[in-house]
Chains A and B, each alone.
Chain A
Amino acid sequence: MAADKQTKLLAKQLFKLSLVNGAVSPEQVTGVLGWVEKHSPRRALALLKVYQHLIATELAKSEARVEHAGPVTAATLEAIAAAMTRKYRRPVTTTARPNPALLAGLRIRVGSDVYESSVAGQLASLSV
């Protein structure tokens, strides 16, 4: 079921209530979910889906997803987290995921920004 304008608006309001100091607060999220369960607003399923999407997008801004081909040391991940925390001026954590399709190098995704230093990426740019 697609969310209508009012549902999207309500989801945004709930999302704003879920932030404390600009970061997603688990306690607030629990509170919001409780409110939805108790009051069962109109189009609850669509509302929760939009809410979930907003929370996931926000959380992705604080998470650097590191795709790598070959081994990556804990020290490298720490250095990436520190660099991203400095750049985005918010605490950024890292999660590593091997991706052999990169051939060699790294690809880091923070929110909608992608930093690419991989052979696959360079080959793709050469082919354009």
Chain B
Amino acid sequence: MSNVIAQIEQQIAQLSSKATKKNTGVITAVADGVAKVEGLSDVMYNEMVSFPGGVIGIALNLGEDEVGCVVLGDVSGLKAGDEVATTGKLLSIPVGKAVLGRVVDALGRPVDGKGPIDAKESYPVERIAPGIIARKSVNQPLFTGIMAIDSMIPIGRGQRELIIGDRGTGKTTICIDTIINQARINKVGLASGDKNFRPVYSIYVACGQKQSNIVRTISALEAADALQYTIIVAAPAADNPANQYLAPFSGAALGEWFMENGMDALIVYDDLSKHAVAYRQISLILKRPSGREAYPGDVFYLHSRLLERAARLDGKGSLTALPVIETQAGDVSAYIPTNVISITDGQIFLETDLFNQGIRPAVSVGLSVSRVGSSAQIKVTKQVGGKLKGELAQFRELAAFAQFGSDLDAKTKATLDRGSRIVELFKQLQLNPIAIEVQASILWALQKNYFDSIEVKHIVAAANSLKDFLTTRKADLLTKIRTEAKLTDEIESGLKAAGDEWKNTFSAK
């Protein structure tokens, strides 16, 4: 008992002798989520400042006479004359595995009603990206589960691959499918007991999205049992622009924790167009000079410093980024799309026309590219899908010409037939990622002309039938493909036997 008393006395003694210094200022104006503060002579750029009522803000504009602070909370309680104090801290958020399965806001506060987050560490929201010495080249695949992407536009761990397209073309769906696929791979890998297996944790940053869309995303992840490997950072459209501006950086901080601790993570920024709009709003209110499309001059730096934080580190983990950009009427040459295209290591371009034709995912093979290339593919995918992009390009070129004439030579007709079968084969239902071993098997079947005798309109059904056949009856073969990751004679003969067997059953229908 005396120990307890002594402890309290010690605490009192510490408190009574402590003099704290803080730098203060006075609010001169509050408008549109931004407070102009006079004083704060010692404030640092990006430093957290505290307003009355526990509201916090960030000092973004350090002027000669006044400081412009964005308020991260309720501004209705603030008024001119209120005292503001520096905190000496940069904005940081709780990180770690404790945040997995949770929905947090831009400041890392839980918004899912599941109680407080028991995080042991916190990371600063703004951080300098790793330098070139610390990095390692991208050569490990990150499977999206989408056949068109994994076979032709492969994504590697640590890569930044932009997903770009008009509204309603399936950008978010690709991201959600990828997250679900990571969860599926994680479950299989962790259950296998393989010591070399590296799970991928996902972070989904919803920036400027509708609340209903965020709820739908959460429900989809929950339904697929993927939320346990995922963190959702929500800064919906109704949130103030400061939170929308910060959310992607908060997500990056969450991802960096996994990367720094030797794990792999995937981060989706959905979407950076709205992020740029939020930043433009803040910049205009702060009276920063505006440039093209009224965006501030540092909007390129805004996105480059964010996306440069995605990397594969030597001796540590990786952070893969999938930024999303929404175009207007397919215009990829607008300001923000061109900026982000130039920052990222490739883009997946989704076309409205393809989407409306029923080709979903509506990936435009001609405009999509992965600058990491086949170094992020496993050997089996290279073996079965190496020529697909070329074949599809030929098909597109010939299809345009074939519209003008009816007499086609046999070779052209064969190319067109094959192309239309590939297009059909790449059609995939949403929230239904396909395992890489199944993808390889289907592509092998295509390569070996198993689909040639099937009518084009039945290709999707045939591919689904083959997928079901392989997963239900040839699980051992699929496991072998997954573990060996290349086409050996044994696997090829197994695939041939399976293909023949399936062909008979499918034809019998």
Interface residue ranges, A against B (CB under 8 Å): 8, 109, 111-117, 121-122, 125, 128
Residue B30 at the A interface, CB < 8 A?
Answer: no
Q: Shortest Cβ distance from A90 into chain B, in angstroms?
A: 14
**Between-chain CB contacts (< 8 Å), 18 pairs:** A8-B65, A112-B23, A112-B40, A112-B41, A112-B42, A113-B24, A114-B21, A114-B22, A114-B24, A115-B19, A116-B19, A116-B21, A116-B22, A117-B18, A117-B19, A122-B15, A122-B18, A125-B20
Q: Which residue of B lies closest to A54 (CB)?
A: B65
In the complex, which residues of chain A have a beta carbon less than 8 angstroms from the beta carbon of B65? 8
Residue B54 at the A interface, CB < 8 A?
Answer: yes
CA–CA, A125 and B65, complex, Å: 29
CA–CA, A111 and B18, complex, Å: 21
Q: Shortest Cβ distance from B54 into chain A, in angstroms?
A: 7
Give the residues from 181 to 216 in chain B that come closer than 8 angstroms, CB to CB, to chain A: none
CA–CA, A112 and B85, complex, Å: 9
Q: Shortest Cβ distance from A59 into chain B, in angstroms?
A: 14
CA–CA, A122 and B23, complex, Å: 16
CA–CA, A112 and B24, complex, Å: 5
In the complex, which residues of chain A have a beta carbon less than 8 angstroms from the beta carbon of B22? 113-114, 116
In the complex, which residues of chain A have a beta carbon less than 8 angstroms from the beta carbon of B18? 117, 122
In the complex, which residues of chain A have a beta carbon less than 8 angstroms from the beta carbon of B54? 128
Q: Shortest Cβ distance from A69 into chain B, in angstroms?
A: 13
Q: Report the interface size for chain B: residues with CB under 8 A from the other chain.
A: 16
Give the residues from 40 to 84 in chain B that come closer than 8 angstroms, CB to CB, to chain A: 40-42, 54, 65
Q: Which residue of B lies closest to A61 (CB)?
A: B41
Q: Shortest Cβ distance from A63 into chain B, in angstroms?
A: 15
Interface residue ranges, B against A (CB under 8 Å): 15, 18-25, 39-42, 54, 65, 85
CA–CA, A125 and B18, complex, Å: 12
User: Given contacts A114-B24, A115-B19, could you give 14 more A-B pairs where the C-beta distance is less than 8 Å?
Assistant: A8-B65, A111-B39, A112-B25, A112-B42, A113-B21, A114-B22, A114-B23, A115-B20, A115-B21, A116-B19, A117-B19, A117-B20, A125-B20, A128-B54
Q: Shortest Cβ distance from B57 into chain A, in angstroms?
A: 15
CA–CA, A8 and B15, complex, Å: 44
Q: Shortest Cβ distance from B56 into chain A, in angstroms?
A: 10
In the complex, which residues of chain A have a beta carbon less than 8 angstroms from the beta carbon of B15? 122
**Most chain-B Cβ atoms within 10 A of its Cβ — which of A112, A113, A116, A117?**
A112
Q: Shortest Cβ distance from B301 into chain A, in angstroms?
A: 28
CA–CA, A109 and B41, complex, Å: 13
In the complex, which residues of chain B have a beta carbon less than 8 angstroms from the beta carbon of A112? 23-25, 39-42
Task: Assess whether B19 is in contact with A113, with CB atoms less than 8 Å apart.
Answer: no
Q: Shortest Cβ distance from B55 into chain A, in angstroms?
A: 12
Q: Which residue of B lies closest to A116 (CB)?
A: B20
In the complex, which residues of chain A have a beta carbon less than 8 angstroms from the beta carbon of B23? 112-114
Task: Assess whether B25 is in contact with A121, with CB atoms less than 8 Å apart.
Answer: no
In the complex, which residues of chain B have a beta carbon less than 8 angstroms from the beta carbon of A117? 18-20
Q: Which residue of B lies closest to A126 (CB)?
A: B15
Q: Which residue of A lies closest to B12 (CB)?
A: A122
**Most chain-A Cβ atoms within 10 A of its Cβ — which of B42, B65, B85?**
B65
In the complex, which residues of chain B have a beta carbon less than 8 angstroms from the beta carbon of A128? 54
In the complex, which residues of chain A have a beta carbon less than 8 angstroms from the beta carbon of B19? 115-117
Task: Assess whether A114 is in contact with B85, with CB atoms less than 8 Å apart.
Answer: yes
Q: Shortest Cβ distance from B196 into chain A, in angstroms?
A: 46
Task: Assess whether A111 is in contact with B41, with CB atoms less than 8 Å apart.
Answer: yes
Q: Shortest Cβ distance from B69 into chain A, in angstroms?
A: 14
In the complex, which residues of chain A have a beta carbon less than 8 angstroms from the beta carbon of B20? 115-117, 121, 125
CA–CA, A113 and B24, complex, Å: 6
Q: Which residue of A lies closest to B65 (CB)?
A: A8
Q: Shortest Cβ distance from A103 into chain B, in angstroms?
A: 12
In the complex, which residues of chain A have a beta carbon less than 8 angstroms from the beta carbon of B42? 112-113
Q: Shortest Cβ distance from B91 into chain A, in angstroms?
A: 16
Please list the 5 inter-chain residue pairs (A to B) with the smallest Cβ-Cβ separation, ordered nearest first: A112-B39, A117-B19, A112-B41, A122-B15, A114-B24
CA–CA, A112 and B38, complex, Å: 9
Q: Shortest Cβ distance from B72 into chain A, in angstroms?
A: 15
Q: Shortest Cβ distance from A105 into chain B, in angstroms?
A: 8
Q: Shortest Cβ distance from B240 into chain A, in angstroms?
A: 22
CA–CA, A128 and B65, complex, Å: 29
CA–CA, A128 and B40, complex, Å: 21
Q: Shortest Cβ distance from A5 into chain B, in angstroms?
A: 12
In the complex, which residues of chain A have a beta carbon less than 8 angstroms from the beta carbon of B39? 111-112
Q: Which residue of A lies closest to B86 (CB)?
A: A112
CA–CA, A122 and B19, complex, Å: 9
Q: Shortest Cβ distance from B10 into chain A, in angstroms?
A: 15
Q: Which residue of B lies closest to A128 (CB)?
A: B54
In the complex, which residues of chain A have a beta carbon less than 8 angstroms from the beta carbon of B21? 113-116
CA–CA, A38 and B65, complex, Å: 28
Q: Shortest Cβ distance from A55 into chain B, in angstroms?
A: 14
In the complex, which residues of chain B have a beta carbon less than 8 angstroms from the beta carbon of A116? 19-22
Q: Shortest Cβ distance from A126 into chain B, in angstroms?
A: 8
CA–CA, A30 and B298, complex, Å: 46
Q: Which residue of B lies closest to A109 (CB)?
A: B24
Q: Which residue of A lies closest to B15 (CB)?
A: A122
CA–CA, A109 and B83, complex, Å: 13
**Most chain-A Cβ atoms within 10 A of its Cβ — which of B19, B24, B40?**
B19
CA–CA, A8 and B20, complex, Å: 35
In the complex, which residues of chain A have a beta carbon less than 8 angstroms from the beta carbon of B25? 112
Q: Which residue of B lies closest to A104 (CB)?
A: B16
CA–CA, A42 and B354, complex, Å: 65
Q: Which residue of B lies closest to A106 (CB)?
A: B19
Q: Shortest Cβ distance from A110 into chain B, in angstroms?
A: 10
Q: Shortest Cβ distance from B395 into chain A, in angstroms?
A: 63
In the complex, which residues of chain B have a beta carbon less than 8 angstroms from the beta carbon of A111? 39, 41
CA–CA, A53 and B209, complex, Å: 45
CA–CA, A112 and B39, complex, Å: 6
Q: Shortest Cβ distance from B393 into chain A, in angstroms?
A: 59
Q: Which residue of A lies closest to B20 (CB)?
A: A116
